[in-house]
Structure formats: structure tokens, C-alpha cells
Amino acid sequence: MYDLHSLGWNSFQQLCLTITREVLGQTVESFLDSNDGGRDGAFVGQWNPTGHEDLSGRFVIQCKFTSRINHVLRPSDLSDEVTKVRKLVEQRLCDSYVLMTNAGLSGSHAEEIEALLRGVGAKHFVLFGSTWIGQQIRENKRLRMLVPRLYGLGDLSQILDERAYAQARAILESLREDLAKIVVTNSYRKAAAALDKNGFVLLIGEPAAGKTTIASMLAMAAVDQWNASILKLDDPGKVVEHWNPEEPSQFFWLDDAFGVAQYEAFLVHGWNHILPQIKTMLRKGAKIVMTSRDYIYNRARKDLKEGAFPLLKESQVVIDVHDLSGDEKRQILYNHLKLGKQPRAFRSRVKSHLEAVAAHARFIPEIARRLADPLFTEGLHLDAYDLDQFIEKRERFLQEVLQGLDGHSKAALALIYMRNDWLESPIALQKSEEQALERLGSNLGGSVTALEALNGSLVVYSHTGGDSIWRFKHPTIGDAYAAILAQSPELLGIFVQGSAPDKLIEQVTCGDVGIEKAVIIPKALFPLMLVRLREFSTSKKYKSKWLSAWDAKSALQRFLARRCSKEFLTLYLEKNPDLLDEVSEPGLYLSAVSEVDLAVRLHEFGLLAEDKRKEFLATVSEYAVRGDDLYALDDIDIRRMFEDHEFEELLQNVRTQLLPDLADVRRNWQLNRGSSEPPDEHMQPLLELFETLKKHLGDDARAAEIIERETDRANEWIAENTPEEPDRKPRTLGKVETPDKPSGTRSIFDDVDA
């Protein structure tokens, strides 16, 4: 059974009319108005309902909604409808009457209702109750996709097989309440269309605009429609690692693909590295959904190789999710309040202001969630001015809510923040975290009790990848906590002392380097940061000691390159002079190795000694001349490290030494292909190398001829070695049409307090 009583009158009518179109096969004209004359929908024509005789003429559809749980429809509930039906019959607008209700039906009452309506002139009568509607939901996958709120209103084990149900549970663990409040927006329709056409969609928007909600809707539809295998990942490298070419229904969901609160360059480098494999995955049937905050994506675009993945340039796969219509905003607000934690008295008092709340220019779905939770509205005056401030100054208001919490609750949030929004349960504190809690006036027991009390409001307990974790209910809560940290030197010191170094370097900057929403460490805490960075010698991402040490070193170098001021770097070099030797000899794959970014940064600040600059340039130049890596020719930051005559010398060496051997370079690439590696993926870096050569040497006719010849031969080799793929019917969700929503005089909030 489904909790249809929680839908509200408006959503129930939309569900009924969708059922009429999708299940009964009728194109319905809808009348969603308080002055509908007794018709919520109508159609003219012929219909052969199962178990009934052929019907023809004018059909009237009426939806009878009740918010009462387990209510059984009685003839007395239809007193108003009887009068309306009589008038419709007299006006020759009703030959057959279809009544749809979320109430229960008994056999005796159904007979009485039919007799009552036939008595006022309806020639034919069909009655569909909650049991029948529930059956249609269970049996019709497309209906569930068109009304995805249903995934959160019933028992999924009734409609999904065991494997799909296990997948769905993993998704729903922390999202079930949100799914029950979902509204099908135009952004969702465009995202579903992009996924159907291209197998890929990138959802962007400001914080709390609904990106994760849309991704969860698409994931649930994929589980339901295709029995897809859902993988929710946080690192580009894991995408290729988990891809199975023999399973075309895999669905990859990557939240915050380029960074959670700030841009993280190494993630973009990771994407660039796997773009050839991504194209192959999409071609073989995989689906990929990514999300990103808009300001982070705008920064990432500068580093993404859009040329290697043209889909990123196409507007139909990059969906801005916070472009909501007025109807969508009202429905979102209604759903959250109707299914939220606010008592009826609150909903009654705020009811008259809800149209204005939904119409506010700064309204986003997160506003609806906060308004529906008593934790956020304690002390809020329900008048026009205070509600306007609640929306207009939502960031400051959230900070005030956090500052007003008791000590144990603040400490609980601090634990989650110190673990970078990933606090494993049961909680095992590090010594520094124990000290941090003590200085905050709390302890482990008090923090755990507070986490349980805050669950569902500010934090959420969920299961991900086999781990039980505490996280912020929404990333904006982490943003607000960061703002509080920045305002309190004492709290900031506790945070630096108590945070794990690998998490710390992802959240702070040493000095103000212009990274949005980062926590800025002031000069007074630089010595403490140096101590914490010395502790960062291994990474928990890898079990291998070598890989663990390599990853920690790379992460530290990226931190120094991207998130540290000149003053801090000067101090760091005094304590770690060997760093200059490390950056002067970077390894291959220059676009991804951390030494390059750090060398560029040190040179920019005048901190890279001249002999080390020349060593660096000699290394990257050698890679270019050998044809191993031409990044030094393309990257504008590396280019600034060259004097003009040095760069011209590099180009001349490439022309005289690399071009004559270009055929050998191509053949070596061909010979080094692994047996399981697709030819086009393997040769993609070489083709990009040819493009770089063409850009820099293409004005030389002889050079252009050589480059073009080797490009053609590389493509011929790819074609000769690519096996024909078996024809697969593409998996599509199907078009999600915009429902017919005529304007009416009845407010959607009419029964919000029922």
C-alpha cells in the first residue's frame, strides 16, 4: 500500500490524470480549479475498460481525495458530487462518470454509490479506489517514473526484485523522506532526456538547489526501469575501476564531482585522465550522472578537456537545476510542509504567507525543508517581514541556528566537520579529537547523544559502501559551520588541532588565496599548521605503504600549490628546503602530477631558485622532445616559466628531433596496447599529442604533412583493431512530459493544514 493520503489534493489529481493517460490510454483534458463544475478531467471518445462493456460518448473524471488514513468512501461523502453530476447530465457533458479516490472501498458502499450516480442520469459508472490505484503503481514502471514521489510513499519490496531492492535501499537510506516530497520539475525532465539521448548528464546549481534530489530520482528510475546496478562514487578513478563492460545497465552517480565546497583541481585532473574510457563506457550503455555547485563548475571548466569530451560543451547535458517555475516552487513548499515535522497549528498560522514564500526571488528547495522543521523555526515570527528575512538572509539565519545549539550539539557538528563530512560509526576518536571535544565542553557520550537528537534535521545517519556514517543533512550546514569557525579564533585553533591532516588540507587555506567558502587560517596559526602538516605522511586511501606515502605526498603538494599564500610557503620552505628538489624533476603525465602545480606556484611567488627552474624546464622539455608528454607546449602556466628564447629553442628541438621519429612514436604506442584495452582509448593521448603538434607547428607545410599522415595511420589502426559491437537496444527512461496544469482559483496550500 502507498501513503496516498499524504499527497495533497493537487498531487492526487495529477496522479489520477497520469494514470488515466498511462494506464487507461486516454488523452484527458484537465480542469484543476475549484470552479470545475464537478470535473477534474474529461475526454470524449470510445473506451473499453477491462471487465466492462464498450463505452462511448462524453466521459467525466472526478478525483475524490481524503487526507484521513484508512478512510472508507461512503455515499454521504459524495453529496456535493451528486448535484454536480445531475447538472452535467442535463448539459449533455456526462455520459459516463469515472470516480477515482484514495479512500478504501467496500462492496456494499460501492453498489450504493453506483446506484446514487446512475439515479441522477449517468449512463455508466466506474469507481477506482486506493486498492486499484496501488495495484497500478505496483504494476506500471513508467507511472512510477512519471510520479517519482511514489518511491518514497510505499514499500519498495512489493515492486522491485531482491537485487534491485537492495540497490534502492542503499540510495534511499538517507533520502527516503526527501523522495516522498519530490516534485517533477522541468530540470528533471531535461535531465531524463539528456540521460536517454547521451547516457550522461551534469547537474549544476547553487547550494541546496536540488541537484542531489534530481540525481536520486534518476537513480531510482534506473533501478526500477532497467534493474540497473547503481554505483554512487566520489572519485573519478573509481568509475573506471568499477565499470563492467559486460553489464550495460550500470548507473554511475557522482555527487560534487569537482569538489564538495571548493574546487579541487586533482579531481578535474582525474576526470581528464579517464575521459577516453568514459566515452567507451557511454557507447557500451553505461549511464553517468554528475552534480556540481555552479561556482565550482565554472572554475573547473577552465581545466576540463572539453575537446576530449565534447558532450560537456552541449547545453542539453549541462542542466542548471534551480530554474524553477512558480508552480514547481509552490508544490515543493507544499510537500515539505505537509510531510514535515511542523504541527498543524504552525501550518495553519503560516498558511496565508505561503504563496509569498514560494514567490520569493531567493526561494530554493532548502528553504522549504527548513520551514518544515521546528529546529529552524524556533522563535520565528510568522509575519511577512520575518519570513522574508528567513529567506533573504538564509545563510546568516542558519549560522544563528547553529550558534544557538547546546554545547554537545556544537561538538557533534564539530566532529563531522573535522572528519570532512564523513564521521564513521561507531565513532573512534583520535587523541587530538578527544582534546578538541574537551575544549568544547563535551565528550564522546554527549556528542553521540546529540547526534541522535539532531538526526534528520542537521545531520543524517546512513550506510554507504558498507560503512555506517554520520554526515551533515545538507552541505550548506557544513558551509555555515565553516563561517562560524572563521569568526572565532578559539574555535579555529580547536579545529586545526583536532582535525585529521588529510581532511584538514581539503577545507582550509593558509592565508587568503581567494578560494570561495574555504576556512582561512590566519598568520597566528601558521606554526600549528606546520606541525599538523608534518604529521601527514600516509594516506588512508591505500593499503600499500608505497601508494599511501605517494598519495599523501601528492595531496600535500597540491595543498601547498593551491591553498597557501606566499607568506606561508616561505615559512614552509624554511622548514622543508628539500621540497625544491622534488618539484624540479616532475614525473610523466604533467597535467596530473602535483609537482608541476607547485613548481608553477613557487615560480609565481619568486620562491623557485634559478637552478631549480632550469632543472624543471629541462625535465619537461625532454618529455616533449621524446614525444612522451607535450603538456609543456600547451599549458599557459608552464609557458610563463620559460624565457622567450628558451621556449623557441624547445619548439625547434621538437621540430628537428621529434617530427622525424613520429612514425616510430606511433608504432610504439600501437605495440604497447594491452590486450583488454579498447584501441580508441589507448590511442587517445597520442591523437591529442598530434593535435598539440599541429597547433604549434602547423604553419610549416612539411610538418603539417607528417602530422596529418601519422594521424590518419593512427585512426586506421584504431578502425582495424576495433571489433564490431553487438547491437544493443538502448535503455531509455522515456519522455517525461510536462503535465497539463491549467490555472485555477483554488490554492495548492488549501489543505496544507488538514
pLDDT of residue 581: 94
Apex CA 323: angle with CA 518 and CA 255, to 5°? 45
Boundary of a domain, candidates 320, 344, 361: 320
Residue 287: strand pairing partners? 251
Mean confidence (pLDDT) of the chain? 86
pLDDT of residue 260: 82
Q: Which residue has the higher pLDDT, 158 or 717?
A: 717
Task: Enumerate residues 6+ apart whose C-beta is below 8 A from 597.
Answer: 265, 557, 558, 561, 562, 637
User: Among 38-52, 430-444, 655-669, whose mean pLDDT is lowest?
Assistant: 38-52
**How far is CA 666 from its chain centroid?**
40
Q: What is the pLDDT of residues 374-386, one digit of tens each?
A: 999 998 999 999 9
Q: 471487465: which residue's cell? A: 51
Q: Is residue 551 part of a domain?
A: no
Claim to verify: residue 186 and residue 305 sit in the same structural domain = yes
Q: Which three cell numbers stand for residue 113?
A: 454509490
pLDDT of residue 13: 87
Q: What is the pLDDT of residues 546-567, one digit of tens each?
A: 878 888 899 999 999 999 999 9
pLDDT of residue 727: 64
CA nearest to 373, candidates 398, 396, 408, 404: 398
Q: Give the residue-averaged pLDDT of 661-671.
A: 93
Identify the sign of the CA torsion 484, 485, 487, 488: positive
Inter-CA distances, 191 with 89, 187, 288, 649, 734, Å: 44, 6, 11, 49, 12
- CATH of residue 215: 3.40.50
Task: Enumerate residues 6+ apart whose C-beta is below 8 A from 144.
Answer: 137, 150, 151, 159, 221, 224
**pLDDT above 90: residue 583:** yes
Q: Is residue 752 part of a domain?
A: no
Domain count along the chain? 5
Q: How many CB atoms lie within 10 A of CB 399?
A: 18
Residue 614 contacts residue 599 (beta carbons within 8 Å)? no
Task: Enumerate residues 6+ apart whose C-beta is below 8 A from 612.
Answer: 580, 581, 583, 584, 599
Q: Which three cell numbers stand for residue 672?
A: 604497447
**pLDDT above 90: residue 274:** no
**pLDDT above 70: residue 398:** yes
Residue 223: strand pairing partners? none
% of the chain exceeding 70 in pLDDT = 90
- The three-state secondary structure class of 540 is coil
Claim to verify: residue 237 and residue 383 sit in the same structural domain = no
Residue 638: φ, ψ to 5°: -65, -40
- Peptide bond just before 742 cis, omega within 30 deg: no
Give the DSSP per-residue string, 421-458: S-EESS----HHHHHHHHHTT--HHHHHHHHHHHBTTT
H-run or E-run covering 293: strand 287-293
CA nearest to 666, candidates 706, 724, 698: 706
Task: Enumerate residues 6+ apart whose C-beta is below 8 A from 194.
Answer: 200, 201, 316, 317, 319
Pairing of strands 423-424, 467-472: antiparallel
Q: What is the pLDDT of residues 670-725, one digit of tens each?
A: 999 987 788 988 898 899 899 999 999 988 999 999 999 999 999 999 999 988 76
Rounded Cα gap, residues 413 and 500, in angstroms: 15
The domain of 36 spans 4-139
Rounded Cα gap, residues 126 and 124, in angstroms: 7
Residue 464: strand pairing partners? 467
Q: Which residue has the higher pLDDT, 260 or 635?
A: 635
Claim to verify: residue 205 and residue 173 sit in the same structural domain = yes
Query: Helices in 586-678 by DSSP H: which ranges?
Result: 594-604, 610-626, 631-634, 636-641, 644-653, 662-671
Claim to verify: residue 90 and residue 162 sit in the same structural domain = no
Rounded Cα gap, residues 359 and 185, in angstroms: 16
Q: Is residue 300 part of a domain?
A: yes
Q: 549541462: which residue's cell? A: 318
Claim to verify: residue 99 and residue 185 sit in the same structural domain = no
pLDDT of residue 517: 80
% of the chain exceeding 90 in pLDDT = 44
pLDDT of residue 35: 47
Residue 252 contacts residue 193 (beta carbons within 8 Å)? no
Give the DSSP per-residue string, 28-75: -EE--STTSTT-SEEEEEEE--TTS--EEEEEEEEEE---STT-B--G
- Most confident by average pLDDT, 14-18, 127-131, 176-180, 606-610: 606-610
pLDDT of residue 567: 97
Q: Which residue has the higher pLDDT, 180 or 650?
A: 650
Q: What is the pLDDT of residues 62-107, one digit of tens each?
A: 889 999 988 999 999 998 888 888 988 888 888 888 899 999 999 8
Q: Is residue 624 part of a domain?
A: yes
Q: What is the pLDDT of residues 340-373, one digit of tens each?
A: 999 999 999 999 999 999 999 999 999 999 999 9
Nearest-Å Rg of the Cα atoms of the chain is 31
Rounded Cα gap, residues 60 and 42, in angstroms: 5
Rounded Cα gap, residues 419 and 481, in angstroms: 13
Q: Give the residue-averaged pLDDT of 435-464.
A: 91
Pairing of strands 55-64, 41-47: antiparallel
Q: Exposed/middle/buried for 348, CB within 10 Å: 0-12, 13-18, 19+?
A: middle
Q: Is residue 128 part of a domain?
A: yes
Claim to verify: residue 298 and residue 330 sit in the same structural domain = no
The number of CA neighbours under 13 Å toward the Cβ of 132 is 16
CA nearest to 748, candidates 327, 196, 309, 442: 327
Inter-CA distances, 86 with 38, 40, 121, 222, Å: 10, 16, 6, 46
Q: Give the residue-averaged pLDDT of 527-548.
A: 81
pLDDT of residue 34: 46
The number of CA neighbours under 13 Å toward the Cβ of 461 is 13
Boundary of a domain, candidates 320, 350, 377: 320
Boundary of a domain, candidates 139, 169, 192: 139
Q: Which residue has the higher pLDDT, 637 or 146?
A: 637
**pLDDT above 80: residue 171:** no
Claim to verify: residue 280 and residue 219 sit in the same structural domain = yes
User: Among 4-8, 514-518, 595-599, 608-612, whose mean pLDDT is lowest?
Assistant: 514-518
Q: Give the residue-averaged pLDDT of 635-662.
A: 94
pLDDT of residue 385: 95
Apex CA 411: angle with CA 410 and CA 413, to 5°? 65
Q: Is residue 693 part of a domain?
A: yes
**pLDDT above 50: residue 156:** yes
Apex CA 591: angle with CA 585 and CA 597, to 5°? 60
Residue 251: strand pairing partners? 230, 287
Claim to verify: residue 313 and residue 187 sit in the same structural domain = yes
User: Among 81-90, 147-156, 283-292, whose mean pLDDT is lowest?
Assistant: 147-156
pLDDT of residue 93: 86
Claim to verify: residue 259 and residue 289 sit in the same structural domain = yes
Rounded Cα gap, residues 220 and 228, in angstroms: 9
Q: Is residue 172 part of a domain?
A: yes
- CATH of residue 43: 3.40.1350
pLDDT of residue 170: 64
Rounded Cα gap, residues 113 and 252, in angstroms: 50
- Most confident by average pLDDT, 145-154, 419-428, 744-753: 419-428
Q: Which residue has the higher pLDDT, 226 or 523?
A: 523
Q: Is residue 95 part of a domain?
A: yes
Q: Give the residue-averaged pLDDT of 607-633.
A: 95
Give the DSSP per-residue string, 444-504: HHHHHHHHHHHBTTTEEEEEETTEEEEEESSHHHHHHHHHHHHH-HHHHHHHHHHS-HHHH
Claim to verify: residue 309 and residue 160 sit in the same structural domain = yes
Identify the sign of the CA torsion 135, 141, 145, 146: negative
Claim to verify: residue 305 and residue 352 sit in the same structural domain = no
pLDDT of residue 164: 60
Claim to verify: residue 334 and residue 286 sit in the same structural domain = no
H-run or E-run covering 250: strand 250-254
Residue 204 contacts residue 319 (beta carbons within 8 Å)? yes
Rounded Cα gap, residues 387 and 377, in angstroms: 10
